[in-house]
Each structure stands twice: as structure tokens, then as C-alpha cells.
Chains A and B, each alone.
Chain A
Amino acid sequence: MDFPTPSSPHLPVPSRVARMMQLLMLALLPGILCAWWVLGWGVLINLLLAGVTAVAAEALVLRLRGRPVLPTLTDFTAPVTGLLLALALPPLAPWWIAVLGTLFAIVLAKHLYGGLGYNPFNPAMIGYVVLLISFPREMTLWVPPASLGGTTLDLVDSLRLVFTGALPPNLGIDALTAATPLDSMKTRLGLSETLSEITSSPLFGNYGGTGWEWINFWFLVGGLVLLYFKVIRWQIPVAMLGTLFLVSGLFHLGDSDQYASPLFHLFSGASMLGAFFIATDPVSAATTTRGRLYFGAGIGLLVYIIRTWGGYPDGVAFAVLLMNMAAPTIDYYTRPRSFGHKG
């Protein structure tokens, strides 16, 4: 009787890339639902636009590169990139924002570097930053949280606005949009208002922004699910959030009228989404256990610096990309001591 002779080990190894990506999308769900509830239909429209564009772009590029299309498409990495980018976009941004950003992320940031596993930068964040720099006006079309009782759009009006730019009668775009809590915090601190004056506005909730604190909370829950199923390891999120908490805490203790509280930082903007879903992208992050601590801490620090002194209200995307740049160096200097070697 003849048998095949492959190399050891011989136990079956399940393909887990697709499963990891599916779990990741599932873990996004609570945060997505919360964002939909707080920010309206625009969130879902963005997700759909970016998701579909990501899959289509991935298929197209794979065809052009002469790679097998179906096996790669079913690893679900492209839709994950699309969804993460979409969650960073303002809900009332025109349709081409999501499409353009996703195209940039998939085609340029991912495939031009060799596809999955070879991209040095987080593709979703590249897409986001390109949009932020190229189309600053469209990227500010955020809406106030629904619970504040302002004007909100239903599905049909939202679709019309996103796809045609047509506003419902008797409404200006200014009536629909509002600054995000982070943006408002930055602007008003810049106007020398004290923190207590700023946070007394209804835009601010118990510790973060109204509505936003709940979005962040549900992304935190999703992140814990990822940790539980070992889709991600704890080092990056803990280091990032811990550093953000620590640094903002120190400044807040130093001058609580000028510097927002650590809880505000943790539960505002893209803190939780970034910590659990974006910074943990394994391809572009540091890979050693110790290196991941430095990598996460670096992101936390940069987020605080950009939010507090930088030109943008939030800094997760820039912080992640900057640390992506540093990842190979971090890996180089944090190699573990191999067994039997002296330190």
C-alpha cells in the first residue's frame, strides 16, 4: 500500500484567517448598532457603500494580478477594511467619499504593496487619512446624537442626501450637522473656556460625549469578545488605552480646567474602535509580545498629543500610521531571547 509523505506536523490545521475576520465583523456589530442608533442611517449607508466597494475592488485587483479570486475574497479581509473605514466616516458624507476612500485603501494601500500580509500600513487608516487631507469639508459632516432631539433624517432622506446631495425642504446642511464632542472640546478649549463650562453643554454626557460614550462602550464590549476568542492579544489595546488614560490623567490632575479627563479620552472619538479593531491589525502592527506593548503605548501617547496639541480633533488614524512606520524597528529591538541564549 502506498501513502503520501508530507512533512510534519501532520495534524489538521484549520484555516482561521476567515474565521478571525468573521468574528471581527460580529464583534463590530454592537458598536455598529449603537452608532446607527446615535448617528442615524448614514452610518449603515457608509458601511454598505464601503463594504461593497471593498469586495468589488479586491476582486478586480486580484483578477488584474492574476491571483485566484474566490479563495482570497472568502478570507473576508477586504470587507473588514471597508467596514473599519466606514465607521470612521461622517454619516452625511457624500457617497463617493466612502467609495473613494475604500478604493484607495484596497487598491493602493493593500494590493500595490503585495496584498494581504505585505502592507506596511493599515489600509483603512490610509484611506481615511487620504480623505481627511483631501476633502476636509466633507469629512466634517458629523451629526449630533439623536438623543439631543435635533433634526434627524429618515432612511429615504439620508439616501437622497448621500447620493444626490439634495437636502430635505426647508433644511440647511448646518441644521443637520454638528461638531463632534472631541471637535467641540478642542475648539472651545482654544477659546479659553474652562473644562467645566464646556462639559456643561448637552453635547457632553456622563464622562464622554453624549451618545459617543455608548458607541465606545459597545466597541469595548466587542473588543473583549475578540480577546475572549483570541482573535487579538491583549498587549496592544491595553497598552494603548492604558497610556492614553495615564497621560491624560496626569495632565488632568495638573490642570483640570485645561485638560479633559482620562475617561473623556477613553470614551470619545475612535478610542475603543482604534484600540481593539484598528491598532490590532496584525499585518501592520509590531509582532513581538514586548514590541506590541511599545506599539500600543506609542499609539496612546500620539493620540493624546494630536488631540491636545495637534491640528485634528482626533488622532487615532495618524497615531496608528505613525506607529506602523515604527513597527519594524520596534520588532528589531524587542526580539525575545531565544531558548538557551544568554540575555
Chain B
Amino acid sequence: MSYDFSHLHRFPGGLRLASHKDLSTTRPIAHLPLPRRLTLPLSQHIGLPAVPLVEAGERVYKGQMIAAAEGYISAPVHASSSGTVVAIAELPIPHPSGLSAPCIVIDTDGKDEWLPTLAGVDDVLQRDPAELRNLIRNAGIVGLGGAGFPASVKLNTGLERRIDLLVLNGAECEPYISCDDLLMRERAADIIAGLRILRHVLNAAQCVIGVEDNKPEAMEALRAALAQGPDEGIQVVAVPTRYPAGGEKQLIQVLTGLEVPSQGLPADLGILCHNVGTAAAVYQALTRGHPLVSRIVTVSGDGVTEPCNVEVPIGTPIAELIAFCGGYTRDVRRLLMGGPMMGIALPSDQLPVIKTCNCILAATDATLAPTKPQLPCIRCSECAVACPANLLPQQLYWHAHARDLDAVQEYDLFDCIECGCCAQVCPSHIPLVQYFRYAKTEIWDQEREREKADLARLRHEFRLERLEREKREKAERHKQKRKALDTPAGDDDPRKAAIAAALERVKARKSVADEVPRNTDNLTPEQQRQIEEANRRRAAARSHKADTDNGAQD
């Protein structure tokens, strides 16, 4: 199947938002001086946390794997600079729950020394895709757009079904965020090279890079990089700037007109979508051997003095990043990881930058609103008009508010992507997304409880069944025995036959034991005496054993 991008499609709803991207796009990507301490959470991705491979006190190189992937959906963690592991401990991480999680803490030694054994792969495009997938997995690459799904797992979906179209997501639709924009402008060649590798791994016929049309420089850079290669079937397509065009499902719909099935994956349509940053990371990992140890972070908002994009070692404290960008402005009130529509509010800047951190937004009350009490819903349905998933947020709110968890599922709560469009247009400023998250969590909790109850019930039923079976078997044995006792003894008595057989066996054993021992010629008298003694002991033991054996037979 081949796609034509000369005619684009529309996703339902969506918003035109003030982009505020020029705050951070005027300067090139800066490099953060090496922080003194790095905090690397074991879980920076979707899936199971990684398992530490190092111990406190151990010296590590930059790029050394310090925690291994655990299970299929997981990703390893690498030291982002050389130094000494000083602790493996529960520390606060940037996560909506605000909870602490296990982290590896490294004190850097300032040398920033790469692991000497790291090396790229020659002739990447000639290698076996399975080998490349493995290398990508070992490089700890996760989706850098913000979700953090392990990239190799996504690539594996190409094993089960044909992938016709590989989409690189360079839409970057959220206000303020510009890290992908700058990456495309400055490192377009890396992205294209990464795209070629991904395409090879997937054996995808067609590739497209979707970029929102408010990034002309980025598109130009990508096209220039493309022009240098012999690529066919790779296209850069400008998609209309409309939030959330950068959502995976929305971008696919804009480009192809297809809807990713509910509860399904793009792979169900033969499509796979990766972020441009992920492609660049794949290139770094395969051609230079460098695992994912740094990323570009947009530091923006009116709460920071000099907004810009910075390449940051993973694990850098956010406070240091802010300080690098000139520190906070006077009225800063809010700190976010991610954009203003879907980002999470951080309680403090003493948290590390993680793989999925595309933006740190520091803002005053003028840009990011302090919460105010909601007004009653007037059922105006502007939320439904804005919803890119075609849901009825107002009905969902109504049922979520009433804790009617069946009804919210009936209204397809789980197709909500939490983009925030509905809440943004609500004239009564009802925090709709918050209600939906609450309902989802409640349902998940219920589900877990139900599973637990099911398990307990199952276990209980098994136990009852076992007891019942044992009782039955016991009764059966008793019955058999009683039957056996009741049967009058005769020639065909099975008991007699059994006894006879046992006697036969014993006799056979005896005859073997009575065999003449070998190597008994030319014995010294002393040896002869010892043998006779041993034979005597053996005979005594045998007669004793025969007694007890016979006793047991009765």
C-alpha cells in the first residue's frame, strides 16, 4: 500500500494555540557544563524499571550500562558521564505521582570518559535487522517525544506484520517546546541517517517526516539533508499547525486519513511512528556506539531569564539547568516538565532530567494559570467540538462526577488521550482532564481488585477441590482394601502371587551376591583372612536383612 501526501486530512477538533516557540528558537543548542552529580532513575520509560548492574563505590565510564532492562517492555540505563557510583537509593523523580523511586547516583569525575569498548557498527544498512534491534535495545533508546516507550519494542511490532509506512514525528505541537525544531534545524543529517536505519530495520517501503508548518527552517534543513542521499520514498510533509497534530494518532490521521483502532496500535494499520529525536538517537547508537546518555531540553517560559535549548546529560538536576539559563525571573510561580497542555507540574527543581523530559517550563501566573474554582457545566458542548478523539467530554464529566464508572466506559473514556483541549475551551473552566484521569485510575484500581479477588477465589476453589479429591481418594483406597480383605484366599490370590514374586527377587539378589569375587588369586594370608572376615560380616548382615525384608513383606 502506498500513501500520497499531496492531499492531507483533518483530525476532529483540536485547537489553535499561541505557540510561544520563538522564545527559545533564537539561540542554537547550547551544551550544559558537566554537572557534579547525576541522578539516574531506574524507570525513565514505560515498562518495568531497569535492574542495577553496579554497586555503590564502583567507578563507571560514560556510556556504561549501569542498569539492565528487566523483561520485554523495559529499557536499560547508562551512565551519562564517568565517575563513581555513590548511592543506589529511593529519590524523588519527576513523575505525576510525586513519589520517590530507585535511582543510581553518580558523582562525576570531570573527565567525561567514554567506555573504551563502545564502537559503532559498520555497514549498518547491510546488517540483520534483528541484530540492529538488539543494539537499539541495549542503547536504552526510548521514545523521546515524551511518552518514553522503549523504541526496540515498537520496532518489534514490525516482526508480526508488514509495516508499509514509517512516520517520523517532527510536529511538536505543544506551545513553548522547540527541542525537536532545533534538532531538525541543526542535526537534520543525523535524523535522516537514523530514519534510514529504522527503515532498514522495519523493511518499510515508504517514509514520511511530518512537521508542523510553523517550522519552515526545520523542513528546509531536512530536505537539504535528504537531497544529499539517494533516498526514494522519504518525504518531508508540512502538516497544518493545530494542537494536537503531534499526537501519534492525530499525525497518522492527518497524513493518511486512517484512524488507529481503539485499543489498537498504528501497526494494526501497517504504520509505525517514531519521534525525530528517537531517530537521531538511533543513529548515534548504531554508527557511533553511543547509548542514550543525553538529550535536548527546551528551557522556556517567562519564569526563566534566558530561554533556550540545551543538550543535557540525563540525570542532571533541573535546578542546574535553570541556573545555566540565567536562573528564574522574579515572579516565577510554576515549574513544568513538558508543555503547558500535557506536561506535569513539578513540586521542586531538585529533580533530575530524564529521557522523556523534552521541556522544562518555568512560568509566572500570567502565563500559567493558578487554579480557580470551577463553575457549573452549562452543557455548551464546546468541549465536544474541541475533542480530537470525537468524545463527549461533557457527558464523561457528568458520569465521572457521579462516579458512574460503567457509564464513562460506555462513553469511551479510554479513548481519551488527555490532550487537554476540552478543559482549555470550557467556559466554566472545569478541570475535565483531571476528572478523566481520576475515573481511569478508579477503573484500573477496580480492575486490580477484581483480579486479586478472582485469584483468591480461584485459589480457594482449588483448595476445596483438592480436599475433596483427597477425601475421595482416601475413601477409594479404604474401599479397595476392604474389598481385598473380604475376598477369600485362593490360588489366584493376588497377594500370594505378589509374595512369590518378591521371594523370587530376593533369591535373584542373593545369587548375585554369592558370586565368587574376582582378583582373589595369589592373596597373602593376611588378605585371605580379611576377606573371610568380610564375608562373615556380609553373611551376618544378609541374614539379618532377609529377616527384616520378610517382615516387611507381611
Residues of A within 8 A of B (CB): 1-17, 19-20, 71, 75, 77, 115-118, 233, 282-283, 285, 287-289, 331, 335-341
Contacts and interface: CB of A to CB of B under 8 A. Distances in A.
Interface string B415-455: 10010100111111101011001000000000000000000
Interface in B185-244: none
A3 B348 contact: yes
Contacts of B395: 287, 331
**Residue among B260, B380, B395 with max Cβ neighbours from chain A (10 Å):** B380
B28 interface: no
Interface stretch (B43-51, B278-286, B371-379): B371-379
Interface residues of B, number: 68
Contacts of B333: 3-4
B369 A12 contact: yes
A318 B427 CA distance: 29
A340 B258 CA distance: 9
30 contacts: A1-B328, A1-B349, A2-B348, A3-B335, A3-B346, A3-B347, A7-B345, A8-B342, A8-B345, A10-B341, A11-B341, A11-B368, A12-B367, A13-B423, A13-B429, A16-B427, A117-B377, A285-B379, A287-B384, A287-B394, A287-B395, A288-B392, A335-B411, A336-B390, A338-B389, A338-B391, A339-B259, A340-B259, A340-B261, A340-B264
A9 B423 contact: yes
B37 interface: no
Contacts of A7: 345, 431, 433-434, 437
Chain B, interface SS category: loop
B334 A4 contact: yes
B542 to A, nearest CB: 82
B342 A6 contact: no
Given A9-B341, A11-B340, A340 B385 contact: no
Contact of A341 (B372, B412, B418, B427): B412
**Residue among B98, B411, B424 with max Cβ neighbours from chain A (10 Å):** B424
A283 to B, nearest CB: 5
A11 B348 contact: no
Contacts of A117: 376-379
A9 B420 contact: yes
B290 interface: no
Contacts of B427: 15-17, 19-20
Contacts of B75: none
Contacts of A282: 378-381
B264 A8 contact: no
A81 to B, nearest CB: 13
A130 B89 CA distance: 71
A65 to B, nearest CB: 13
A336 B384 contact: yes
A101 to B, nearest CB: 22
A1 B371 CA distance: 19
B73 interface: no
B317 interface: no
B169 to A, nearest CB: 18
Contacts of A233: 381, 385
Contacts of A9: 340-342, 420, 423-424, 433
Contacts of A2: 347-348
Contact of A287 (B342, B392, B411): B392
Nearest to B417: A339
A338 B371 contact: no
B336 interface: yes
Given A2-B348, A9-B420, A287-B394, A339 B342 contact: no
Which 5 residue pairs spanning A and B have beta carbons closest together? Answer: A9-B420, A12-B369, A16-B427, A117-B376, A340-B262
A33 B431 CA distance: 40
**Residue among A6, A10, A14, A331 with max Cβ neighbours from chain B (10 Å):** A10
B335 A339 contact: no
A283 B378 CA distance: 5
Nearest to A291: B381
A289 B347 contact: no
A336 B372 CA distance: 31
Contacts of B342: 8-9
Interface string B318-334: 01000000001000111
B92 to A, nearest CB: 12
